Amino acid sequence: MDVVLWPNHSPTDRVHVTLQPDDWGYFEGEADAEPGWRYLYAINGTEERPDPASRSQPDGVHGASAVIDRSFGWTDGDWKGVPLENYIIYELHVGTLTEAGTFDEAISRLPYLKNLGITAIEIMPVAQFPGARNWGYDGTYPYAAQNSYGGMDGFRRLVNAAHEHGLAVILDVVYNHLGPEGNYLPRFGPYFTEQYKTPWGWSLNYDGAWSDEVRAYFIGNALFWIEDCHVDALRLDAVHAIVDTSSNPFLRELTAAVGDRAHKVGRQIPVIAENDMNDAACVRPGRDGGLGMHSQWSDDFHHALHTVLTGELHGYYADFGLMDQLARAIQNGYVYDGEYSLFRQRRHGTDGSVLSGMQLVTCCQNHDQIGNRMLGDRLSAMVSGEQLKVAAAVLLMTPSIPLLFMGEEYGESAPFLYFTSHSDTGLIDAVRKGRREEFAAFFEQGEAPDPQSEDTFRRSRLTWTALSSEQEELANWYKSLLALRRKVALKEFSKKNTTAYASEGDRTLWILRRSEIDPSQVVVSAFNFSAMPQDITLPFLLSEWSILLASSKDNWNDRIIVPRENFRPYKVTIQLPSFGVLIASCACRSQE
């Protein structure tokens, strides 16, 4: 094994350095090089390939790697991070967040997000991928920040700026597979196994021969983003697709390594999993046989909320659609906790009642649930503005960590489509064919947009134009909800002090949250999912409510005083307008 280096301005002045093997399959050597120098590994002395641990791929996935300056002018020395319980997450895609689609341009949006009430940005994967446009899940260089976004220095500038604005940075990382184009990792060792398959191709070798070093490669990657790039948290993509039969699973080892590093740097560094298995073991401590992660995405909450809003019941939505399921997702964490799933045709999930609210990340929308629709249509294209208000209020009044997808807060009209920019013609054809086949049943909607088309990418950009009056109203609603959420009883994540109840007949929902600090303080959130006004009966004995927020200013004043003659023992009935939301507080005692 050799390494070939040359100054960027003088590609003919190549320097060859012979590397020496050690007992563990690594090759070592020393050479003088400056930042910006290009280099390639020469396998067997002839086959030249980029560095699979490259920090920079300025010429793309097939080009030479580049030496970078690992030092950076950080100004966040006093940064202590944001506690997980204070996370309000804003998921964003760098390439479509702004017109320029760069890390530096994303910095210009940070003051807006801070003012909105966001505390953490979650950045979709930035590991080097083919071409200039991609969701990021086709990355093939886990250690290199995408060149078209601004490379490693651009990424570090974004993280540094986020910290200056008091925002934590969550990075979405992909450890279940690598993309097919530019994936030269198999030429360097047994990083993949044919024993298992993933939906995206080869499975990574986490439990076979030489898997210790495969694990080290990916654990080292997680620590690299934390140490060299000051990332505050990691979101692990589709951990259910990682097959590992070892006694000490890779995911547990990774989470423990991140925990050790967090202790070293003196701040929290949460690990958040995407896991569609409703598996509480994901966030159970490692000492108790779990994987030790800190939180996980809750698909059940999204599906339950989406179906009662839209009435869609195809695909995996066939398992949902009932108001009671939404209440159950809020109360218990999972809807399916061992029950039979019609979509999966088997029992699904584990007991979610053991989870705290902080161990669940909930959303109305995310990149998957929008982008994996044929037309990439957002919730704003499916329901009314008043229904969007209901969705936002349910999300932000639920005792879990909320996630907003970019543009959701003002009802962005642009879709978020699936897009790529591969150079491999065979792969391009395969992706196109796959999308056509996936949505063949939706022929009445036309043909799925071409993922390879630049127009598909451009259509997915946020517009950031002057907002309509309805969009401004929604944006102000989100801002008010986020401000309200910071109040004591709504920051707490105890589900034992939360009661959620739904009525299927009149399509109403209420959530009661009692403060752990002062149990007499109660916040009640009432929601009407119906187009008709509905009465809602709450199990409290009180005569005066302090109105915290209401979706219809015409229907409510600052307080509701309930006449004594309207009382029934321990119950109060109020009327909610169509698609109405009422959030009120009181000092009271429950029926119990």
CATH number at 580 reads 2.60.40.1180
- CA–CA dist 337, 341 (Å, integer): 10
Residue pLDDT, tens place only, 235-293? 999 999 999 999 999 999 999 999 999 999 899 999 999 999 999 999 999 999 999 99
498 inside domain: yes
Task: Look at the alpha carbons of 106, 111, 116, 121 in this order and tell me if their dihedral is positive or negative.
Answer: positive
Closest CA to 238 of 212, 290, 273, 188: 273
- CA–CA dist 394, 581 (Å, integer): 9
223 inside domain: no
Output the pLDDT for position 567: 47
Domain of 35, in residue numbers: 2-49
Which residues are annotated as catalytic?
237, 274
Coil vs helix vs strand at 585:
strand
Query: Hey, what amino acid is at 499?
Result: T
| Domain end point (choices 33, 49, 65) | 49
- CA–CA dist 574, 563 (Å, integer): 12
- CA–CA dist 254, 391 (Å, integer): 35
Which tokens in the block code for residue 135?
Answer: 């969701």
Under-70 pLDDT residues of the chain: 440-445, 538-544, 553-572, 587-592
End-to-end CA distance of the chain: 74
In this structure, the dihedral spanned by the alpha carbons of residues 374, 375, 376 and 380, taken in order and rounded to 10 degrees, is -130
Burial of 232 (0-12, 13-18, 19+ CB in 10 A): buried
Give buried/exposed letters for 397-420 (b at 16+ CB in 10 A, else e): bbbbbbbbbbbbbbbbebbbbbbb
Query: What residues contact 214, with CB distance under 8 A and at least 6 apart?
Result: 189, 190, 191, 204, 205, 206
Residue with tokens 């604005």: 165
Output the pLDDT for position 539: 57
Count the neighbouring beta carbons within 10 Å of the beta carbon of residue 135.
Answer: 23
DSSP string for 122-180 = EEPP-EE-SSS---STT-SEEEEE-GGGTHHHHHHHHHHHHHHTT-EEEEEE--S---S
**Under a CB-based contact definition with an 8 Å cutoff, are residues 44 and 255 in contact?**
no
- CA–CA dist 287, 92 (Å, integer): 34
Residue pLDDT, tens place only, 66-86? 999 999 999 999 999 999 999
Output the pLDDT for position 441: 60
**Under a CB-based contact definition with an 8 Å cutoff, are residues 365 and 405 in contact?**
yes
Rounded to two decimals, the pTM is: 0.96
DSSP letter at 306 equals: H
500 inside domain: yes
294 inside domain: no
27 inside domain: yes
170 inside domain: no
Task: Look at the alpha carbons of 488, 90, 379, 409 in this order and tell me if their dihedral is positive or negative.
Answer: positive
Count the neighbouring beta carbons within 10 Å of the beta carbon of residue 195.
Answer: 11
38 inside domain: yes
- CA–CA dist 485, 509 (Å, integer): 18
272 inside domain: no
Tally of domains in the chain: 2
